[in-house]
Structure 1
Amino acid sequence: MKPMGSLTEHYWLVQRMAKALGCDTAQAVEEGRLDPQEWAEMVTRCRGCQVTCACRDWLARAELEEAPRAEAIGGCENALVFAEL
């Protein structure tokens, strides 16, 4: 089992993934579509993800594009949550 990644790093990876997918997590929390506990669980799931290196590369490419991506990178532990948002 791989050790959990840095809390700060994975917080920002989740934020970057949300932005790349056109999701506004702050608005989702405000509207009650995402509760604070689920947000914390998203960061925790990201910390244990097996595709972190590929995710960083995917995000770097996505951030160069104008339009949001349709779905998260394959293997993203939070793909289903992002799809619902």
Structure 2
Amino acid sequence: MANNGGRWHAYVVLLPGSVSLWPEYDWYRDAPVPTLTERAQVLAALGYEIAPGAEWEWTEASDVYDDPSSPVRLIATVTVQAMPEVTA
């Protein structure tokens, strides 16, 4: 999940594979940060859930490396797993 120009963008990285095939979702707002519940709901809608014992980790990344005046992007990561398929 990343904050990218006024919106929060969630995506599931699938390796190996093309970025164009990654499941994704956008919250078209800059604030507030999507809640844990909102993130879990989006992951479920994409067919994933947070892996047991995994926790969200936050990182800052600058648009321009080594420039303290550069805008900062917030990036959050968590390990996920595909949700089990329900069979009737």
TM-score bracket relative to the smaller structure: under 0.3
Higher RCO, 1 or 2 (CA under 8 Å, sep at least 6)? Answer: 1
**Alignment TM-score, normalising by the size of structure 1:** 0.27
Higher percent of residues as strand? 2
**Alignment TM-score, normalising by the size of structure 2:** 0.26
Higher percent of residues as helix? 1
